Amino acid sequence: MAIHCPDCHESVEFHPATMVDDNGWILEYDMELAGFHLEARGRAPENPKELTPEWIFDHDFSTWNGLTPTDAFDKPMEMHELMAETKGDARANFEALKSWTKERTGRLADRGWRKAKLAL
């Protein structure tokens, strides 16, 4: 697998049979190896023609940890700020997280992030 960031993806020739583009980030898969691993684990799609880079990405087999490439870092920081505002009130925390999650997912989907769009 290879990942090409938005700054360098211009120099990469996009191949839809092996690559998926998520908001300017290109993930390139070894489709033969992916198919082998998924089949060995009984996780491959029933129809082999459905095994595409999009399927691999959208089914969370090789994708971001979260909704974006930086979500593993961004989300905890945003949540920490949100929890500081609710000052430990459990009900307020729950309500704040619920509305923040909906707002955040919508915002990321509007910015073009594939997993956020799928989550709506």
**What is the tens place of the pLDDT at every residue in 24-57?**
999 999 999 999 999 999 999 999 999 999 999 9
Residue 88: pLDDT above 90? no
Q: What is the mean pLDDT of residues 93-110?
A: 95
Range in 47-61, 78-92, 106-120 with the lowest mean pLDDT: 78-92
Rg (CA), the chain: 17
Mean pLDDT of 51-75: 96
% of the chain at pLDDT higher than 90: 86
Is the pLDDT score of 83 beyond 90? no
Q: Can you give the pLDDT at residue 78?
A: 93
| Domain residue spans of the chain | 2-58, 71-119
Please tell me whether the overall predicted TM-score, pTM, comes out greater than 0.85 for this model: yes
59 pLDDT above the threshold of 80: yes
Confidence label for 10 from pLDDT (cuts 50, 70 and 90): confident
Report the pLDDT averaged over residues 95-103: 95
Tokens representing 118 are 């799928």
* b (16+ CB within 10 A) / e for 84-99: eeeeeeeeebeebeee
SS3 3: strand
